[in-house]
Amino acid sequence: MITDLHHTTLFVSDIDRSIDFYRDVLGLELVSRSDAWGGTYLGKVCGMPDTDMRLNIALIGVGPKGKIFELIEVLQPLGEPTDVSSRGRGIARIGFEVDDIDSAVAKLKERGVTFLSDVITVAVEEGQHYSDGKAVKFLDPDGIVLELQQPPVPGRVT
């Protein structure tokens, strides 16, 4: 039935600012951008029949396998949709794999990124989730939590 993960979406408040951050600060690829994209079909698929839903949307590419995530700024209807919640549920963060986490952190600090901690080595028993991997978290301009991860074996999910 499900064969792959197609994309993830981040709702942002300013598409230009977010593109600048993800492309220029993090060094990711701007694959495409569409402004005032949508129509009544988008309203329908989002459960709002007869609504002319309009978005600014940017596709951001990550890695050599063509994986993407979307940045979406909702233009209309105003206030829709949002993932802001105090419940502690929903998307918690996006993790990006790096080869050299210390070098990546140093480069991003030079570009003005503030991290939530120092780089942490995950000290759990061998074979458990992320054993001996390294991680650190930071925020994008909208306060979305992002994470750099350096797994003990590149490309291996544990």
Report the pLDDT value the prediction gives residue 92, as an integer from 0 to 100: 61
Report the pLDDT value the prediction gives residue 20, as an integer from 0 to 100: 98
Cα separation, 47 vs 49, in Å, equals 6
Q: What is the pTM of this model?
A: 0.80
**38: phi then psi, degrees, rounded to nearest 5:** 130, -150
Report the pLDDT value the prediction gives residue 2, as an integer from 0 to 100: 54
Cα separation, 54 vs 75, in Å, equals 5
**102: phi then psi, degrees, rounded to nearest 5:** -65, -40
Closest by CA to 60, choosing from 27, 90, 12, is 27
Structural domains in the chain, sorted by start:
1-80 (3.10.180.10), 92-158 (3.10.180.10)
Digitized pLDDT (tens) for each residue of the chain, 158 residues in all: 656 777 788 889 899 999 999 999 999 999 999 999 888 887 777 787 888 988 999 999 998 888 899 999 989 887 655 555 444 444 567 889 999 999 999 999 999 999 989 998 877 677 666 667 888 989 899 888 888 988 887 776 65
